[in-house]
Amino acid sequence: MSTQKVRVGFIGLGIMGGPMAGHILGAGYPLCVYNRTASRVEELASRGARVGASPAEVAAEAEVVITMVSDSPDVEKVIGGSEGVFKAIRPDSVVVDMSTISPEVERDLSKLLQSKQCHLVDAPVSGGDVGARNASLAIMAGGEREIFERVKPLLEVMGQPTYCGSVGCGQLTKLCNQILVVMTLLGISEALAYARKNDLDPRVMVEATQGGAAGSWQLSNLASKIIDRDFAPGFMVDLMDKDLRLVLESAETSGVPLPGTFLVAGLFKEIQAQGRGREGTQALAKVLEAMAGL
């Protein structure tokens, strides 16, 4: 793909989408953007991006349309709604959905786009706002291998893409990722509460353990935030709750028991019930602290 010729559309400029679109523009791709909250397009527009009035208008200008929104209904509306991408997309264009949604919805949207001789790659990401800003996201892609190879150079502008299989396999891989993430975060939250309850300096504990077998991205990036009482979102509790709903729905369909994930999903529900759904996922630690009487 030539960065001089491929026209890109980007829909959804939130905590993740804004920096991701910025990397695409910085790499020299002609870019047209749309966001439901209009103020979020201003920074990219000041750097030369065109602003579309609707997802359809973005699709009319682009050969590759990237979507980065919250949930399955949002993606369905952006692509198949009355002013959606499907209305104006041209044959042989590619939609790259980088949201985290239902694998089944991705397959349905792929069939819809095929009716216009277009293609879908589902490519959800992991790495949070830090990964988005640093262009170091893990990108898990599903779709036809040939189409993945067409968009791979574009994905590499935002992070490290891995081809996972047919349409929907990107989402399935992301849901596996979320199982790993929340189970690790539960362990970190428990370890921090245990350290504090036993008068062990939690910073010393983290420093001593992060270089060994217990080390992880979460321990290196979120433990210090918990200690510093920084619960600003890199990834919100509300979004993780949505992802865990998708995990548990898929697990029920496929008959896979996930007792640990079920437990953590309940703890995130408790955080939401406290009105903390827009805090970062590291707020999970507060539930363990309360249980420990800290």
Residues that are catalytic: 174
CB under 8 Å to 124, separation ≥6 — which residues? 97, 98, 99, 100, 101, 139, 140, 170, 171, 173, 174
End-to-end CA distance of the chain: 55
Q: Where are the beta strands (DSSP E) in 152-294?
A: 159-165
Rounded CA gap, 12 and 179, in Å?
25
* C-beta separation of 94 from 37 below 8 A: no
Q: Of the candidates 273, 262, 263, which has an alpha carbon nearest to the alpha carbon of residue 238?
A: 273
Rounded CA gap, 82 and 261, in Å?
37
* C-beta separation of 274 from 231 below 8 A: no
Q: For residue 18, how far is the Cα from the chain centroid? A: 12
Query: Furthest-apart CA pair in the chain: how many Å?
Result: 64
Location of structure tokens 């210090």:
224
CB under 8 Å to 101, separation ≥6 — which residues? 71, 72, 75, 124, 171, 246
Per the structure block, which two tokens stand in for 207?
A: 């420093």
